[in-house]
Amino acid sequence: MVISLLSTSTVRMKLKIDRRFFNRAYWVLCDAKARFVILRGGSNSSKSWSNYQHLVLWLLQGNENAIVFRKHGSTLRNSVFENLKMVAKQLNIFHLFNYYYSGDKREMICSVGGNRIVMSGLDEPDKLKSVVGIKRVILEEADAFTIEDFKELVRRFRGVTGIQFVFIFNPVSEKHWLKKILFDTPKYAERAEHHTFTIDDNRFATEDDYKELDALKDIDYDQWLIYRWAKWGVVRAQNPYLLHLKQSFNGQNIPDNEEESILFSFDFNVKNSVTIWQKWKDDYDYWHVNCLREIRIGGTAETDLEAICEILATDYGDREIYYSGDSSGNNRSALTKGNASAFVMIEGYLRKHGCQFLHYNKLKANPRTKKSRFISNAITKELGDRFTINESCTELWADIVSIPCNAEGDLDKKFCDDNDVGHLLDTLRYFIFVFCFDVWLDVKRNIAVPKGLDSDENNVENNAYDD
């Protein structure tokens, strides 16, 4: 028996629970204390089923009410209502509830104590006016809700101590307000619990369930990341700036080639960024270009720059290092401390933390984005799977797949500015322009280069890096 009733009263029941019938998400909900409880998960991860299990047992053991929302009320019967009934049957407590589903009354009411689970759609505002005494608010498929829906709900449910909002969703887009508000906005994130679930958290998943999700990788890599691994999805650009880099093909986890130098490419903004690269020719005279990792740390322009350099020095301090990047880092106004330029500060920080073999390749002016696009696409197409970017470079991959071109075929700077993206893509562009001139010389022999789009070696000073 899944549930045994040890005692009952008009207010509370004591239950004995057989743990074998519950998945991890159930126990997470039992322990949840935060105002916002985030259940982000892939397909078949048992997050919704575990929530219904917890909800009906929570109702038996207390005297509070709950409400379950979906975006559209028309979807409640076949999803929420039927699932709650199925859970009650599975737990052998179906007889302890009364079930109502009509236009005006969609509730599951406990026969001992009278507390209830109400079901409503966000498109039915009149039904919310009579809902009182709610202690728990559940948003099923929360990614279907808007930020305005969220603001309305947290305003509406008030006056009860310890109200919890439970968000259940697949992470379909990293640009979604759920991530921006509940993960990335401190005043909300610090009041939230973030839990991630995959099919591996469902002890009842079958071998066929696993095979079905794993098969997604070969037909839709993005959906495989979302539904198999609960990774944040990326909205793909219709006309991407970079055309030939695919995470399923170029997203390899290539180890550091310890025989080769390390190359840093920086971009400077409110949050500074750097990507770490290597390149070499193999014994068959083929180029290999690898991005080992990305680093982007928040904070002030001054503090995060030293933090980045300390990480770089700790991990690569005994190596031969070449560094370059955003030409704005040559300006004395780029950072304010001592009126020094960013690259002067970088050299100081790297040496302070133990780097000895440093070479600075100065980019005198940032390459035009249209020229940079042509050269980057030509190199990545020619090298194929010999141009790799580690799967851990999540922000760089997000830039690659999501940043579009404008109507003129140039980088859509407005999109980048409006969404605060493109900084990691810039590090890739600077890396190619500074460190891949020799690769370009080989590649352009095989293609027709439009007039004015050839690379300019004279734009880089102190170009001592030479394979």
Residue 211 belongs to a domain: no
CA dist., res. 413 & res. 415, Å (int): 5
Convert the pLDDT of each residue in 363-413 to its tens digit.
Answer: 989 999 999 999 999 999 999 999 999 989 989 998 999 999 998 889 999
pLDDT score for 10: 46
222 or 274, greater pLDDT: 274
Two structure tokens written together for 447: 């293609």
pLDDT score for 89: 93
Residue 221 belongs to a domain: no
CB atoms within 10 A of CB 123: 12
CB atoms within 10 A of CB 406: 14
Two structure tokens written together for 433: 């322009």
- Tokens 């249209």 label which residue? 370
What's the helix, strand, coil split of the chain in %, to 5? Answer: 40, 20, 35
| pTM score above 0.85 | no
64 or 284, greater pLDDT: 284
Q: Does residue 254 share a domain with residue 194?
A: no
* Average pLDDT across the chain, whole number: 88
- Tokens 């204390």 label which residue? 33
Residue 232 belongs to a domain: no
Q: Does residue 295 share a domain with residue 149?
A: no
Residue 14 belongs to a domain: yes
pLDDT score for 459: 80
CA dist., res. 257 & res. 276, Å (int): 12
Residue 30 belongs to a domain: yes
Residue 410 belongs to a domain: yes
Cβ distance 1 to 18 under 8 Å?
A: yes
Two structure tokens written together for 42: 């892939």
Domain that holds residue 419: 247-461
Determine whether 408 is exposed, middle or buried from the number of CB atoms within 10 Å of its CB (0-12, 13-18, 19+): exposed
Q: Does residue 385 share a domain with residue 289?
A: yes
- The domain that holds 72 is classified in CATH as 3.40.50.300
Q: What is the tally of structural domains in the chain?
A: 2
Distance of CA 84 to the CA centre of its chain: 31
Two structure tokens written together for 363: 């980019």
Convert the pLDDT of each residue in 425-437 to its tens digit.
Answer: 999 999 999 999 9
Mean pLDDT calculated for residue range 69-96: 91
Q: Does residue 251 share a domain with residue 195?
A: no
Residue 225's SS3 state is helix
Q: Does residue 396 share a domain with residue 261?
A: yes
pLDDT band at 320 (very low <50, low <70, confident <90, very high): very high
Q: Does residue 273 share a domain with residue 151?
A: no
pLDDT score for 335: 46
Q: Does residue 308 share a domain with residue 371?
A: yes
pLDDT score for 336: 46
- Tokens 């679930």 label which residue? 197
pLDDT score for 334: 45
Residue 272 belongs to a domain: yes
Q: Does residue 184 share a domain with residue 258?
A: no
